[in-house]
Amino acid sequence: MDLDALRREQHKLRLSWMPWLYFSLKPRHREWADAWQREVQERLRELETVEIAEGCFIAPEARIFAEPGRAVVIGPGCSIAADAFVHGPVVLGPRVSLNARVSLDGGAGGIRIGEGTRIATGAALYAFDHGLAPDRPVRDQPVTSQGITLGADVWIGANAGVTDGVTVGDHAVVAMGAVVTRDVPAWAVVGGVPARVLGDRRQRHRSGAPG
């Protein structure tokens, strides 16, 4: 393989792990990158029950599983990075980003994520839970699933967790490493294990304002 081909493969790898770069590619890279993405996405459509809107980036290293009845719907302008795990039912609104090693499992109740929401590296959302009755092993416990909903413009920090049955309101922020076990109000900033409200995003300085 010549040097130019090696550089292109390295560029693909860079985009897979940092997919936000795809949306600002220079014209000389846009043609091959778009062709590459068409190939990746068409293969995924052939193999899984997925809907992919226009303008998305999906790393070929992402693992997306969507059996009939457990569809994954990916809205326009979304990005899914390398080593992400997505198991339907999952619905991503427009311009949602899933960074590297994010895990989403929709259980039976499903996961719905609103427009513009960002989910950072290593975050995990599991829309199911096991029973804890003492009279049987964990492997034999019944599984329940209520579903998880994230609103629009939410930021889920790196390595955070969101448990089944939780709704996170629009514009909320979940801190790195937090474990969210109850609903989060719109605009709230939460952190800790279990997560609690630390503040209100509307009380932060405006963009560009002095600290």
pLDDT digits (tens, 9 = 90+) for 148-207: 999 999 999 999 999 999 999 999 999 999 999 999 999 999 999 999 999 999 997 777
Residue of higher predicted confidence among 16 and 133: 16
For residue 106, the enclosing domain spans: 3-197
Residue 210 lies in a domain: no
Closest CA to 77 of 36, 33, 22, 35: 22
Task: For residue 110, give every residue at least 6 positions away whose Cβ sits within 8 Å of its Cβ, in sequence order, or none.
Answer: 88, 89, 90, 91, 127, 147, 148
Q: What is the pLDDT of residue 209?
A: 54
**β-strand pairing of 143-144 with 129-130:** antiparallel
Q: What is the pLDDT of residue 82?
A: 98
Report how far Cα 51 is from the mean position of its chain's Cα atoms.
16
Residues facing 125 on adjacent strands: 104, 162
Residue 206 lies in a domain: no
Indicate which CATH number applies to the domain containing 160: 2.160.10.10
Residue 63 lies in a domain: yes
H or E, element range at 122: none
- pTM tops 0.85: yes
In the predicted model, is pLDDT for residue 143 greater than 50? yes
Q: Give the number of domains in the chain.
A: 1
- The answer to whether 173 and 189 have CB atoms below 8 angstroms apart is yes
What is the distance between the alpha carbons of residues 11 and 44, in angstroms, rounded to a whole number?
21
Residue 207 lies in a domain: no
In the predicted model, is pLDDT for residue 210 greater than 60? no
Residue 167 lies in a domain: yes
What is the distance between the alpha carbons of residues 31 and 124, in angstroms, rounded to a whole number?
34
**Confidence band of 208 (pLDDT split at 50, 70, 90):** low
Residue 211 lies in a domain: no
In the predicted model, is pLDDT for residue 211 greater than 50? no
